[in-house]
């Protein structure tokens, strides 16, 4: 985080949450209306774009141009990426899936979970699911890494900023619980515990993504690519919801290893501004 930049975290997250919750609530109501269900993804997309829109507006309102140049460099510059560490981190999510399935076998899980998924676990109206998975990674990380996480670091350790971000990121997904045919809605209908597991795993992933972004010189591009791999990994194999619960514990293990091995980074406290 660069000291010359001015961040307003409360205003950013308040604006993002208000805008997203508004549009996603409209989308939720439309998703249950037979006459409007074909178009519910329009407000859903607007809600998805809010982290990026608010970040870009707040960055471009800065009185000086340094923050704008920094944002564009973090988004487009491949020089920030450490190739081998980045490629290794891309294996974390697929590895967590495979480990979770292997562990599930000891508890009666089926080997059929290793089979590729025959279909996506949710529907997205007129937008192809694969396209939405990428757009989610793009619009979220433009905002989360372009402005949101940076605004949380002031006066906090990297660990506390990462945990706080993970919690806020998780809560941001709450309106999806009442959007018909969304992933969160579908798993909540199966069991509230499955939905709770999703929100817990999101907190843990928030910590992991923050670390991956940081070790690649705060590259927004890296965060987008890793987020997209996360989304794909959750859909690639026929993993059951019970096994996804195991996967959350695997991810917690990964996060603890990362924190322990990078403790000087995680305990470092950024100056207040």
Which residue numbers are catalytic?
Answer: 140, 173
What secondary structure, in 3-state letters, does the chain show? CCCCCCCCHHHHHHHHHHHHHHHHHHHHHHHCCCCCHHHCHHHHHHHHHHHHHHHHHHHHCCCCCHHHHHHHHHHHCHHHCCHHHHHHHCCHHHHHHHHHHHHHHCCCCCHHHHCECCCCCCCCCCCCHHHHHHHHHHHHHHHHHHHHHHHHCCCCEHHHHHHHHHHHHHHHCHHHHHCCCCHHHHHHHHCHHHHHHHHHHHHHHHHHHHHHHHHCCCCHHHHHHHHHHHHHHHHHECCCHHHHHHHHHHHHHHHHHHHHHCHHHHHCECCCC
Contact of 139 with 228, CB cutoff 8 Å? no
Q: Which residue has the tokens 């308040």?
A: 14
């Amino acid at each position: 985080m660069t000291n010359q930049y001015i961040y307003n975290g409360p205003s950013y997250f308040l604006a993002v949450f208000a805008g997203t919750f508004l549009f996603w609530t409209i989308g939720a109501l439309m998703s249950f209306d037979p006459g409007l269900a074909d178009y519910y993804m329009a407000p859903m997309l607007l809600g998805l774009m809010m982290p990026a829109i608010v970040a870009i507006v707040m960055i471009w309102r800065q009185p000086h141009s340094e923050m704008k140049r920094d944002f564009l460099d973090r988004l487009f510059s491949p020089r920030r990426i450490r190739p081998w560490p980045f490629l290794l981190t891309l294996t974390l999510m697929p590895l967590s899936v495979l480990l979770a399935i292997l562990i599930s076998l000891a508890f009666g899980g089926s080997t059929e979970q290793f089979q590729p998924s025959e279909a996506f676990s949710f529907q997205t109206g007129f937008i192809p699911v694969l396209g939405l998975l990428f757009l989610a990674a793009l619009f979220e990380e433009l905002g989360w890494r372009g402005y949101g996480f940076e605004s949380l670091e002031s006066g906090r350790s990297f660990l506390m900023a990462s945990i706080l971000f993970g919690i806020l990121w998780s809560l941001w997904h709450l309106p999806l619980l009442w959007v018909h045919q969304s992933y969160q809605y579908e798993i909540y209908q199966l069991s509230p515990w499955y939905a709770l597991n999703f929100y817990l795993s999101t907190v843990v992933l928030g910590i992991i993504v923050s670390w991956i972004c940081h070790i690649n010189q705060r590259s927004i591009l890296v965060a987008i690519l890793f987020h997209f791999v996360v989304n794909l990994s959750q859909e690639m194999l026929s993993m059951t919801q019970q096994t996804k619960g195991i996967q959350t514990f695997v991810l917690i293990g990964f996060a603890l290893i990362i924190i322990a091995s990078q403790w000087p980074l995680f305990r470092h406290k950024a100056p207040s501004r």
